[in-house]
Amino acid sequence: MAAIKATSTTAKDVSISRKPPILCMGAPRTGTASLGEALRILGYERVHHGSNQVPSDPNWEIFNRAADATFDTLPTYTGKPFTREDWDEIMQNWDVVTDMFAYYARSLIPAYPDAKVILVERDTSAWLKSWTEQKRSWCSPLAHQFVKTVEPLTGTIAGSTSFKFITGWIGSNKRQDIFDKAEEAYARHNQFVRDSVPAGQLLEFQLKDGWVPLCEFLRKEVPNVPFPRLNTLEDYQAKASQDKWAGIVRATKRVLGMRDTTSEVEGNLSKPSQGHSGAV
């Protein structure tokens, strides 16, 4: 009887064979939460949105390394490609990625050339207004001081990493450019996605289009429920305030040598608030 030759499967082999997640590459404030909920309704259970990413999540370190590898305007830029194998450290946990992942489109689309990609587009003026309102508190002097002085005491790099990938996406490393260059970055981002994804793998979509084009693209039955509308600006601002408070709690506990239970607090705070609805 012939001997059976042993074979081994490397991490790279598993990465290549694993079905890629759906990449929702619409920029934040285009309706990412609504799209994510729509995809859950269609049966995709593991959907990542920025609201899932609490400050204590260890995956911030991966986002930080990815930012350094992706954005050449950052002083920490390495120029080292962030590969599919690198991304799979996070991607293996999700069927769909949305929202903050769109900042990394220039890295993700080449890493997952076989992925289905959804580009949600919003009227530029409406998007810019929502973006500006959202980032106003995030980019305030108080928030900047929080990231510089309080965050290092909390054991997280969520704020500093967010600053990296947002300014990197804008094409700068200056806070003011988050506002001044946003419209240009938005147009550039959408064009990059259109140019980089084969037509059969890309759905250009607006929330007002509803279920039909989305279900046709994903080969799903149209559900007998209204298309969701989630995550108003007020929801975002409430969540941001909660995250800052959780950071202060963690910093205080560290300074006083107390047991850190902030991740439990964050878990409760990150649960979706009730009674808010509306298009983003």
In the CATH hierarchy, which fold is given to the domain comprising 18-269?
Rossmann fold (3.40.50)
pTM: 0.79
- Residue 274: what pLDDT? 34
What are the residue ranges of helices labelled H in 59-157? 60-70, 84-91, 105-111, 124-138, 141-145, 151-154
Question: Whole-angstrom Cα distance, residue 258 to residue 243?
Answer: 19
Give the CA radius of gyration of the chain.
20
| Boundaries of every domain in the chain | 18-269
> pLDDT tens digit string along 77-108?
999 999 999 999 999 999 999 999 999 999 99
Question: Whole-angstrom Cα distance, residue 26 to residue 103?
Answer: 9
Question: Whole-angstrom Cα distance, residue 49 to residue 214?
Answer: 18
> pLDDT tens digit string along 11-50?
444 444 578 999 999 999 999 999 999 999 999 999 999 9
